[in-house]
Chain A
């Protein structure tokens, strides 16, 4: 090999580079036997995980089945809210509701849910 001071040409340098590459290719490092053991352990552990049976889902109990029947926990929370509102209105009703109910129950004004003077009654008034 000649790498003298006169050598400045790129192609000549590249040619010399090949001797380094050749040395690098021949100087292949050896890995330890432990590496192979570690890799074999990985092969087995990945395969074990893949082959392990899926955990079986437990059957639902009575509560679970009832919940499913009424629409799950969202439905339960809606029902609970409605129940609480009902209790509050019962204990401390808003003014508009209490006026209406007192007039209906104790007042002098007759409130009918059914029209007492239907078409037949009107004719009887008229004679």
Chain B
């Protein structure tokens, strides 16, 4: 398997190799990209099974588009982030068709019971709950910026908006997050000292 030979090859080159029949190139691309595709989907959806379905669907779209991929266009990662964002938005809309916003937004009961053992996991879960209360676009921008650690220009390409709009979405998202988390500070076990 020529994984070592391809180790330094850019994603776009691997995709071109796959388009020319090299399946190993696609496998290497899969190992490189699936973790971040899955993470992005999971952070947007908060459901592992659904995130795996989205990751598979996004990667399938990549395999199919390989022969038409133009090397001078977008980066593969940017394209994939956009695909995942769109797939997640579709699923979130469908969910909201079945549930009221209040149902989605309500944090799980029982968070107070872990007040004394505030750990990283609890913070992460609290963040996930809070993110689920944001409008989709704000949530997407905040996740890409602060969890996937992408630059604002890259997020702008993914979301197909200007950099100013991204900054605006992130700022509003963070204000909303801070406000949601502040309401839960007692549950989350923060003290005054």
Contact = CB atoms under 8 A, between A and B. Distances in A.
Q: Do A and B come from one complex?
A: yes
Interface of A: 1-6, 10, 13-14, 16-17, 19-21, 23-29, 31-32, 34-36, 38-40, 42-44, 46-47, 50-51
Contacts of B177: 17, 20
Query: On chain B, which size bracket covers the interface?
Result: 35 or more
A28 B178 CA distance: 21
A34 B53 CA distance: 11
Interface in B39-86: 39, 42-43, 48, 51-52, 55-56, 59-60, 63-64, 66-67
Interface of B: 18, 21, 23, 26-27, 30, 34-35, 38-39, 42-43, 48, 51-52, 55-56, 59-60, 63-64, 66-67, 120-121, 123-128, 130, 146-147, 149, 174-175, 177-179, 181-182, 185, 190-193
Contacts, number: 116
A14 to B, nearest CB: 6
30 contacts: A1-B190, A2-B190, A3-B182, A4-B190, A4-B193, A5-B192, A10-B175, A16-B178, A20-B126, A21-B127, A21-B147, A23-B121, A24-B43, A24-B127, A24-B146, A26-B120, A27-B120, A29-B38, A29-B51, A32-B48, A34-B52, A35-B55, A39-B59, A40-B27, A43-B26, A43-B63, A46-B63, A47-B21, A47-B26, A47-B63
Nearest to B66: A46
Interface centre among A10, A20, A23, A26 (most CB of B within 10 A): A20
Chain A at the B interface: mostly helix, strand, loop or mixed? helix
A13 B182 contact: yes
> Which 4 pairs show the lowest CB-CB distances between chains A and B?
A4-B192, A27-B124, A23-B123, A3-B190
